[in-house]
Structure formats: structure tokens, C-alpha cells
Copies of this chain bind each other. A is one copy, B any other.
Amino acid sequence: MINKLIAKIMKRNAPIVVGLDPMMKFVPEHIRKAAFAEYGETLEGAAEAIWQYNKGIVDAIYDLVPAVKPQIAMYEQFGIPGLAAFKKTVDYCKEKDLVVIGDVKRGDIGSTSEAYAVGHLGKVHIGSNEVYSLNEDFATVNPYLGSDGVKPFLKVCAREHKGIFVLVKTSNPSSGELQDRLVKDGTGEKPLYEILGNMVAAWAEEYMPEQGDYSYVGAVVGATYPEQGKILRDIMPKSFILVPGYGAQGGKGADLVHFFDKDGLGAIVNSSRGIIAAYQQEQYAHFGSQCYADASRAAVLAMRQDIATALGTL
């Protein structure tokens, strides 16, 4: 799946993933109204609204980008109907041949992580049957519990040729509270994210596809921390980096160069509200809320241009 992702990035000249994080305040009024008319202002109504909203965006951008990244929290908040909209979105995006990165940030003790791993990426055993469940292509993984919590994902990745992105240095303002702490390492000291970077590098080395330069094991490093991105790019040469924080969170195209390798590969940059709620920005307001998906398409094109300019791959 990492090789499919890379091939699609090259074909589209777009190391871009669109974050499908449908907050209700982003959903245009006409979609909300129609959904509430059918299901009421209920969890079902909210789920229908975000699904219709997503579908419009996916239809407008699937030929431009290699991948989407639905953030499961935005669906999970609406309970079982919301999670059903997540699954519908995953399946629809796969029909459109998009690579689907489930932004689930799961991680637990070994036996529990195994359940997450088979549920999100692999097959679950039911009686004598093996069944794909949520079936994303990639998942994000929280490593706070150590290797016990990551290894079940690695095994499923090897079996299914899928991938994970391990949280190493997240994009949010407080990420440094733990991740930047200087920790003892042999005779010297290092920030915790470098320790994590070394762990990811070792897993990446061990879990390589038969062909290709990049591993099943990638890392999340925020666009908002370009200096750390540069260090981590060097520490994890086999790991693709998923880069959140571009756009609304403050990351700019010029900040991104350090996340990429010399061939302009090795990273994929996420934008969520910058794309999916583009119509609410001044720059794209002329599209209007009815044509929100066209605004999203224009925002993808602008992002592609911004990154290509920064990387010199125009």
C-alpha cells in the first residue's frame, strides 16, 4: 500500500492528503437542512449531513489527490450513526481508488492493540470465517505504551501490505510538553521525539515491502515544527512522513521542504479545513456554500501549486 501511495503521489504530482474532518460548522446549510428534514436533528441527521458533505468533496477532488485522511473523532462524536458514516466514507473513497489513511491514533497494551490492528487494517476471525472490518489502508498509531502497543499493527501491516504512521512529533502547540522533553540516552541526552524517531526507524527497517525505498512504517511529524522535521527526516530514512498542520494550523509550503527526500518524495502533507471548508475562507467565498466542493477543488489546486513551488517540482 505504501508503494501504491507513492505511485499515486507521483502520478498526480501531489504529495497531498485531504483530511476529511467534517465538523458540523463546515457543512453547508443546504446539506444540513436536507439531512435534518429527513432524520431530524438527531445523531442520524448529523451522520447523514457529514456523509453527503464528504461525498460532494470526494467527487470534486478524487482525480487530483492520492489520498484522504478521515479523522474518526469527527464521526465517533455522533455515536453509532456517525461511525457508520465513517465506514461509508472509507468505502466510498476506496471505490474512487483513493488511498485511505484512518486517523484513529489508536494504541493500547498488546492484546488490545491487536484488536485495533485487525479491526482497522486487517481481518477479524469470526467462527471459521475471516472478515475485513473497518478496512482502511493506513492507520495512525499512538506509541505512548511502547512497542507492545505498536507491534500488533506491524504484524498486520506485513500480512496485509498496509501501513501505519506512528505519532512522533505532533503538530499541536502543546506537543512539546512530553515529546520535546530531554531524556537521558547513553551518555548524552535527546528530546523524546528523537527516541521515538529511532524506534520508528528500527521498525521501518524491519517491515519493508519486497520492492521500494519506503517501509510500511511511517511517522507523523507536524508541519508546524520544520526544524524537528529536518532532524527526523534524517533519523528515519525508510519512513514516509505524514505531515499535518499545513494551512489552518499555521504550516506553510516553504516549511515543508525538510520533510521530503532529495527526490521530492518521503512525505505527504495533510490539509483538512483548508480544503474541506475552503468556501468559508475569503479567498474562495465567491464559490458560495452551494458550490462548496468546487471551492475545495480550487483549494487543492492552490495547495498543490504551493508545495510544488516550495519543492521546485513545478
A contact residues vs B (CB 8 Å cutoff): 21, 23-24, 32, 36, 41-43, 45-46, 71, 73-74, 76-80, 82-84, 87, 105-113, 115-116, 118-120, 124-129, 131, 133-134, 142-149, 167, 170-179, 181-184, 189, 192, 195-196, 199, 244, 249
Contact = CB atoms under 8 A, between A and B. Distances in A.
Given A46-B126, A78-B119, A73 B108 contact: yes
Given A74-B112, A182-B183, A183-B182, A145 B170 contact: yes
**Could you say how many copies of this chain the assembly holds?**
2
| The 5 residue pairs across chains A and B that have the minimum distance between CB atoms | A146-B174, A77-B119, A146-B177, A41-B127, A41-B129
A42 B244 CA distance: 36
A196 to B, nearest CB: 7
A73 B174 contact: no
Contacts of A77: 115-116, 118-119, 124, 133
A244 B36 CA distance: 42
Contacts of A171: 109
Nearest to A47: B126
A129 to B, nearest CB: 4
A178 B144 contact: yes
Contacts of A172: 109-110, 145-146, 148-149
A220 to B, nearest CB: 10
Nearest to A135: B79
B174 A184 contact: no
Given A112-B21, A189-B184, A42 B76 contact: no
